[in-house]
Amino acid sequence: MQFRDLKKQYEVLKPEIDAAIADVIDSSRFISGPQVRELEAQLAEYVGVKHCITCGNGTDAITLAMMAWGIGEGDAVFVPDFTFFSSGECPAIVGATPIFVDVDERTFNLDSDKLELAVEQIISEGEIKPKAVVAVDLFGLPADYARIKAVCKKYDLLLLEDGAQGFGGSINGKMACSFGDIATTSFFPAKPLGCYGDGGAIFTDNDEWAAMLRSLTVHGKSGNDKYNNIRIGMNSRLDTIQAAILLPKFKAFAEYEIDAVNHAADRYTELFVGSGIITPVIPDSYVSSWAQYTVQLPIDIDRAKLVEHLKSKGIPAMIYYVKPMHLQGAFEGTRSAVADCTVTEQLCKTVLSLPMHPYLTEEEIAVIVNETMRGIL
């Protein structure tokens, strides 16, 4: 059994993917081939924004957004404490100070009330200036953008939507990666829409930022003149082969894979009823893209022992995340390490992610649930 079965997906899409790769090899247009722009156009239309700029990976995407906004030393960027390292790493890379904020215990996403308290605390300290918020669509569920946007508007903060795990989710029919002033996603293979290597994308409706981002992805070049570099940028492009692979994968993703993972998640939740395990909450009008199906175990359960039990039955289980952001060694001794994030600290002790992908069968789900229950008895 696979945690995210990319082999099965390839078996289903093999003719289309093989043909797409062969077309790129035949053309020899390995960098900036036409498939890159075709993919960008399709993704922008799907998300519902004017611009999609692909890049080398999801981490670069966040860093490029920070660079386009001119964020740097003296700026505070507010980031959920329960997330992957890059959400806070990228503001730090450009010299800003990530300020870690606790999350909602049921959705795992940024707590807007605690966000406002954190902003006011930074203002009262007066040492750094509140500049932006990175809201993460964790495990596939879009964050509470209505409330987060209200805080951003009140304090004049830029909003970056980190949709690395959330691409394909939605709120009231509005798609993830359309909620931020800029949004980013990742095409890492295990993501809801993944390629066969690294890749990422940036979304915005702002023409000026889009032009800046296109320049920054290619060494800060001026328009189409790659030998006239007008700013310091990066070398961060999506390879043509990866774009070609993503095109048939995106078609399947939009046509049936999102529905399939939501069906699998519903089945998990039904089977866990009455178990004492806390299952994920999807608020009304929200759709998750289910990057992971993450439960919370009772506090008295030996999680390591349960993981070993599942492994012995051929069931892979993962822990996202074992350590809060503010306790990461990279931030030790800095302002970023000062955070009141008790919910995150509790989640790090109790969460467990179970296999989730569009090709998961009901029989496999039943086995996973049954063995999980046996493992906690």
Is 226's pLDDT higher than 90? no
- Per-residue pLDDT reduced to its tens digit, 20-71: 999 999 999 999 999 999 999 999 999 999 999 999 999 999 999 999 999 9
State the average pLDDT over residues 92-115: 98
H-state helical runs in the chain: 6-27, 34-47, 58-68, 86-93, 112-125, 145-155, 207-217, 240-252, 258-272, 303-312, 342-350, 362-376
- Per-residue pLDDT reduced to its tens digit, 316-328: 999 999 999 999 9
- Per-residue pLDDT reduced to its tens digit, 249-300: 999 999 999 999 999 999 999 999 999 999 999 999 999 999 999 999 999 9
- Domain spans, the chain: 6-247, 256-376
Q: Which has the closest alpha carbon to 142: 118, 116, 164?
A: 164
Residues in the chain, overall count: 377
* pLDDT for residue 224: 80
Radius of gyration, CA atoms only, the chain: 21
Between 377 and 265, the higher pLDDT residue = 265
The fourth-level CATH superfamily of domain 256-376 is Aspartate Aminotransferase, domain 1 (3.90.1150.10)
Is 227's pLDDT higher than 90? no
Give yes or no for a contact between 246 and 43, defined as CB atoms under 8 angstroms apart: no
CA torsion, points 273, 277, 280, 285, in degrees to nearest 10? 30
- Per-residue pLDDT reduced to its tens digit, 196-220: 999 999 999 999 999 999 999 999 9
Is 119's pLDDT higher than 90? yes
Tokens (6 digits) for 104: 């909602």
Q: Nearest-5° angle of CA 248, CA 251, CA 252?
A: 90
Cα dist. 51→66, 164, 194 in Å?
17, 17, 20
Q: Which has the closest alpha carbon to 199: 245, 168, 233, 258?
A: 245
Rounded Cα–Cα distance for residues 96 and 256 (Å) = 41
* pLDDT for residue 377: 81
Share of the chain above pLDDT 90, in %: 98
- Per-residue pLDDT reduced to its tens digit, 147-201: 999 999 999 999 999 999 999 999 999 999 999 999 999 999 999 999 999 999 9
Give yes or no for a contact between 214 and 71, defined as CB atoms under 8 angstroms apart: no
* pLDDT for residue 225: 79
Side-chain half-sphere CA neighbours of 27 within 13 A: 16
Q: Nearest-5° angle of CA 59, CA 293, CA 304?
A: 95
pTM > 0.85: yes
- Per-residue pLDDT reduced to its tens digit, 236-247: 999 999 999 999
CB atoms within 10 A of CB 84: 18
Instruction: For domain 6-247, give its CATH number from 3.40.640.10, 3.90.180.10, 2.40.50.140, 3.30.420.40.
Output: 3.40.640.10
